[in-house]
Chain A
Amino acid sequence: MSPGAAGLSRPASAVSESAFRWLAVAASAALLAFLALPFLGLLARVSPREFVARLADPAVLEALRLSLVTSGAAAVVILMLGTPLAWLLATREFRGKRLIEVLVDLPMVLPPTVAGFALLMAFGRLGIAGRSLDAFGIQLPFTTLGVVVAQVFMAAPFFVAPARAGFMGVDRRLLDAAATLRASEPFTFFRVVLPLARPALVAGVAMSGARALGEFGATITFAGNMPGSTQTMPLAVYVALQSDLDTAVVLSVLLLAMSFGLLLGLRAAPAGFLWNRPSAGSRGF
């Protein structure tokens, strides 16, 4: 170190700065290794050929089909009902709004088994809503429909939060401009707000879909664990763990791949699809 440099930067701060950097890198590396190792362990358990062969197993296909159908349905329900709620939360002030916000966020922190139990109390045959539904011949507990209900309950917050943020991110001045251009609120919503908030809505649907796909506790409590009708992939993994470890591995790897693909897709999606920025020569949407 030259005398000049020593005079300019105090040694103490130089040391703590590099120590800070090393600590940050070391801590990050430890956490990342911890997050990655289980997945590597899973992948090391199965050879590609065996994986493909096991995919054809009817039990695996059954669970896969059920999972895709139920979580897809849950995502659609969440999109249809969650979008208006997110819009109202983003644009209106009303009494009790704080309470509604807590209610919407609650499933994110609630133990899923508690959620499933609560659903049973509400929609079970003797539950407050279940009795009326029963009168119409609709049964939710221990049915495929019940799986969707449990997934919607657990996954809705993962859509509403980003959708609301997306709506709030739409420039207020554009809404003013639309109002001075004779546009009604519905017109503005469909022509300005939805297109501009689309990236947030897409991300929200993907996140809530992924959450629905992985839902376990509320499903098994409320809908049970019946192969073909309520045994989704996470449940099938749990069952297979006790008897058929190889099937458990295949199902797990499959779930892992689907979740990984969904999250990666969100980040790597073509700009025009997610972020709505027109590329040269395309009309965007």
Chain B
Amino acid sequence: MLEVAASKRLGEFTLDAELTAPARGVLVLVGESGSGKTTLLKLIAGLLAPDRGRIAFGGQVLAGDGAFVPARHRPIGYVAQDYALFPHLTVRDNVGFGLHASGVEAAARGERVARALDRLGIAGFAARRPHELSGGQQQRVALARALVLEPAILLLDEPLAALDLQTRRTVRGELKQLFEQLGCLTIFVTHSPAEGLAFGGHMAVLEAGRVTQQGPREELLRRPRTRYVADFIGTNLVVARVDRSAADGLVHLRLPGGREIVAAGTEHEGDVFAVIDPREITVSLEPPQGSAQNTLRGMVADLMPEPPSGERVRVGLATSPPLVAELTRASVDQLRLAPGVLVTATFKASGVRVFE
């Protein structure tokens, strides 16, 4: 198991991260640029020393408790965002670099390098130099160079960012397969939540230098804990307090602004999270007559087709709290929705899911 509870200050930015990961499998680290993903990765790799705190793997302290294991003595493999291949060495020598540095004999080295090249399908490029390779090929060299040392933790910093769209799609599939075969812990950093969700496994979300949520992907999808996570899984999240005093027998959720929404029965008490599924929200121009349980009025903020060429449209609403509703293109056209149009959003109590 990897346990990180460390802080590092770099200029104006402070990373203060708590993270645990199983000893095997994939951990996807998601966060916007500037959230501290690379810093966290470098702390784990040993390229940076934490100011405070502790990093341990499998019971061995890597940093903290007065100890610091430098990068070259950690059981890690590190693939930097731009791959950082040695420009003056051939592919073969790049991949063999780590073995050479660890004092592996030339014969054994050649064998292991050949196997690593084979595994990643780059044996044909062994005599080339990095600048003669495409981005995708360079990435495989970087992966082979890290994997040939059989690391216990493989760290990948935005492995897909430097690739063009076409390559990215194929490489994503290959990487996923590769990670499943590896018997190590793979920590995969990405700024793209979609990419992170595609990889699955465990996820950790980094926001402004802190890990705000971590757990299996399904857990994140079911119970987002921050607005950022809710945003990227495409749902509406509110933080509220349960109020059962109303005479109507429904559970009222009091939102920070003072507004209330009603939810179906829940046994939770006190402060809770509530998710409102965008597909459960209907939008109309006039306030509906009758017994809709939750109605919020506000202007349309933006419209995003989902997927970009698809039949459904995500409509951002400047209500309080702000909501996203998912409608069909036909109803958007019929209502002539456009930014600035005043509408009413309606959803049933049963469309609100409450969790702690």
Which of A176, A184, A196, A278 is the one whose CB lies under 8 Å from B47? A176
Q: How far is the CA of A258 from the CA of B47 in the complex (A)?
A: 47
Q: Which of A187-195, A233-241, A249-257 contacts B (4 or more CB under 8 A)?
A: A187-195
Chain A residues lying within 8 Å of B86, measured Cβ to Cβ, are 174, 177-178, 192
Q: How many A-B residue pairs have CB under 8 A?
A: 70
Whether B129 is near chain A, meaning CB under 8 Å from some CB there, is: yes
Task: Please provide the chain B residues from 51 to 87 with a CB less than 8 Å away from any CB of chain A in the complex.
Answer: 70-74, 76-78, 80, 82, 84-87
Q: How far is the CA of A105 from the CA of B129 in the complex (A)?
A: 38
User: What's the tally of chain A residues with a CB closer than 8 Å to chain B?
Assistant: 22
Chain A residues lying within 8 Å of B87, measured Cβ to Cβ, are 196
Docked-complex contact A171 and B84, CB < 8 angstroms: yes
Task: Please provide the chain A residues from 243 to 285 with a CB less than 8 Å away from any CB of chain B in the complex.
Answer: 276, 278, 283-285
Whether B149 is near chain A, meaning CB under 8 Å from some CB there, is: yes
Docked-complex contact B88 and A180, CB < 8 angstroms: no
Q: Which of B96-104, B117-125, B266-274, B279-287 contacts A (4 or more CB under 8 A)?
A: B96-104
- Among A171, A180, A187, A284, the most chain B Cβ lie within 10 Å of the Cβ of A180
Task: Please provide the chain A residues from 145 to 195 with a CB less than 8 Å away from any CB of chain B in the complex.
Answer: 171, 173-174, 176-184, 187, 191-192, 195
Which of B72, B85, B88, B149 is the one whose CB lies under 8 Å from A179? B72
Q: How far is the CA of A15 from the CA of B161 in the complex (A)?
A: 50
Asked whether A180 and B76 contact (CB < 8 A) given A171-B84, A196-B87, A284-B88, the answer is yes
Docked-complex contact B80 and A178, CB < 8 angstroms: no
Asked whether A180 and B101 contact (CB < 8 A) given A171-B84, A284-B88, the answer is no
Q: How far is the CA of A176 from the CA of B47 in the complex (A)?
A: 7
Chain B residues lying within 8 Å of A183, measured Cβ to Cβ, are 72, 97-98, 101
Give B75 Cβ to nearest chain A Cβ, in Å. 10
Docked-complex contact A182 and B47, CB < 8 angstroms: no
Q: How far is the CA of A191 from the CA of B89 in the complex (A)?
A: 9
Docked-complex contact A182 and B78, CB < 8 angstroms: no
Docked-complex contact B149 and A174, CB < 8 angstroms: no
Chain B residues lying within 8 Å of A182, measured Cβ to Cβ, are 72-73, 98, 101-102, 149
Docked-complex contact B80 and A176, CB < 8 angstroms: yes
Q: How far is the CA of A173 from the CA of B130 in the complex (A)?
A: 15
Chain B residues lying within 8 Å of A191, measured Cβ to Cβ, are 97, 100-101
Docked-complex contact B129 and A180, CB < 8 angstroms: no
Docked-complex contact B80 and A179, CB < 8 angstroms: no
Docked-complex contact A187 and B101, CB < 8 angstroms: yes
Q: How far is the CA of A192 from the CA of B129 in the complex (A)?
A: 14
Give B69 Cβ to nearest chain A Cβ, in Å. 12
Chain B residues lying within 8 Å of A283, measured Cβ to Cβ, are 90
Docked-complex contact A173 and B88, CB < 8 angstroms: no
Q: How far is the CA of A223 from the CA of B350 in the complex (A)?
A: 99
Chain A residues lying within 8 Å of B76, measured Cβ to Cβ, are 180
Chain A residues lying within 8 Å of B45, measured Cβ to Cβ, are 180
Q: How far is the CA of A204 from the CA of B98 in the complex (A)?
A: 31
Docked-complex contact A177 and B78, CB < 8 angstroms: yes
Asked whether A195 and B88 contact (CB < 8 A) given A176-B80, A180-B47, the answer is yes
Q: A177-B85, A180-B45 are in contact. List 17 more A-B contacts (CB 8 A).
A: A171-B84, A174-B86, A176-B47, A176-B71, A176-B80, A178-B86, A179-B70, A179-B72, A180-B72, A181-B101, A181-B146, A182-B149, A183-B72, A183-B97, A183-B98, A191-B97, A196-B88
5 contacts between A and B (CB under 8 A): A176-B42, A180-B146, A181-B146, A191-B101, A196-B87
Name A residues whose Cβ lies closer than 8 Å to a Cβ of B. Answer: 171, 173-174, 176-184, 187, 191-192, 195-196, 276, 278, 283-285
